[in-house]
């Protein structure tokens, strides 16, 4: 399994593709496929058939996974797209930080 620079709950910006420049919150991460589902990005149309009595069918829009390489983390302090660094703290824990403003991210 690969280590990714993005975690669930992070705010990211899309670097390329039809949704270039859009910001959104990461809803889930799929490490095996190196993909993430971002809120409001890469919307796909899905035709849903009612399965139970009283359930509504129709056309819904939902997010589909995006490659992690197309996403960049947005720092909450400086509000800019930034690379993620990792520091080993005195107690041995690994903490992520913004490479532009050195702000530590609380996970």
pLDDT of 66 over the 70 cut: yes
Question: What does the pLDDT read at residue 1?
Answer: 55
Q: What share of the chain is helix, strand, coil (3-state, %, to 5)?
A: 5, 45, 55
Distance (Å, whole) CA 2 – CA 29: 12
Asked if residues 105 and 96 have their Cβ atoms less than 8 Å apart, the reply is yes
pLDDT of 55 over the 90 cut: no
Distance (Å, whole) CA 31 – CA 51: 31
Question: What does the pLDDT read at residue 107?
Answer: 62
Residue 73's pLDDT band (cuts 50, 70, 90): very high
Class of domain 1-74: mainly beta
Q: What does the pLDDT look like over 13-42, one tens digit per residue?
A: 999 999 999 999 999 999 999 999 999 999
Residue identified by tokens 């919150």 is 25
Domain coordinates in residue numbering, the chain: 1-74, 79-107
DSSP assignment, residue 104? B
pLDDT of 92 over the 90 cut: no
Give me the mean pLDDT over the 87-96 stretch: 89
Quote the pTM value: 0.83
Q: What is the dihedral of CA 44, 16, 12, 4, to 10 degrees?
A: 100
Element housing 74 (H / E): strand 71-74
């Amino acid at each position: 399994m690969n280590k990714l620079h993005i975690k669930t709950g992070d705010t990211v910006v899309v670097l390329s593709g039809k949704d270039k420049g859009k910001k959104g919150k990461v809803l889930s991460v799929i490490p095996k496929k190196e993909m993430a589902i971002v809120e409001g990005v890469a919307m796909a149309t899905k035709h849903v058939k009612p399965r139970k009595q009283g359930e509504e069918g129709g056309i819904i829009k939902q997010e589909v996974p995006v490659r992690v390489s197309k996403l960049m983390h947005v720092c909450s302090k400086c509000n800019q797209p930034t690379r993620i660094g990792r520091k080993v703290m005195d107690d041995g824990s690994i903490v992520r930080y913004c490479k532009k403003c050195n702000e530590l991210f609380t996970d």
